[in-house]
Amino acid sequence: MKHIGKVLRRVIVFGVFDRLHPGHRAFLGQAKRHGKEVIAVVARDSAVKQLKNRKPTQNEKIRMRNVRRVPGVFCAVLGDHKEGEYGVIKKYKPDVICLGYDQQALENDLKKCMRQKKILRIRLVRLRAFMPKKYHSSLL
């Protein structure tokens, strides 16, 4: 897989991954098509509470363990303690960040951080939804 003369190797995805379902698996599978190493950043319980105004059904350790078991996932790590720091991006230096169909706010924040040079410019790829009316965590 090539992109402007270089092989794409490392992919980062972000998500809550609460009650892992076929939509999550499809998302991670699509991300795998963009590189060799898919690093899944699992949102911390505190971040879920802040972003969604509710606690996740499963705690962060269970969610991370479940994501780790998905074929094609190189590793799963917990997100930063403080939203918007993107320490995981600085640490893992991805070639591409794959975004879910419903992650517009994340995309906007990443672009803003790139413009402000808080993080390096990284290719962003929006992935397709997989049966969103059936497999969206808020519906399950």
The per-residue pLDDT for range 39-84, each reduced to its tens digit, is 999 999 999 999 889 999 999 999 999 999 999 999 999 999 998 8
Tell me how crowded residue 139 is: count the other CB atoms within 10 A of its CB: 10
Report helix, strand or coil for 89. Answer: helix
- Other C-beta atoms closer than 10 Å to the C-beta of 87 total 13
Q: How confident is the model at residue 134 (pLDDT cuts 50, 70, 90)?
A: low
- pLDDT for residue 1 is more than 50: no
pLDDT in tens, 69-126: 999 999 999 999 998 899 999 999 999 999 999 999 999 999 999 999 999 999 999 9
Structural domain containing residue 20: 2-139
Number of separate domains in the chain: 1
Q: Report the pLDDT value the prediction gives residue 59, as an integer from 0 to 100.
A: 98
For position 116, which CATH number holds?
3.40.50.620
C-alpha to C-alpha distance for 103 and 126, rounded to whole angstroms: 9
Rounded Cα distance between 134 and 13, Å, is 21
Residues with Cβ within 8 Å of residue 88, at least 6 apart in sequence? 12, 39, 41, 77, 79, 80
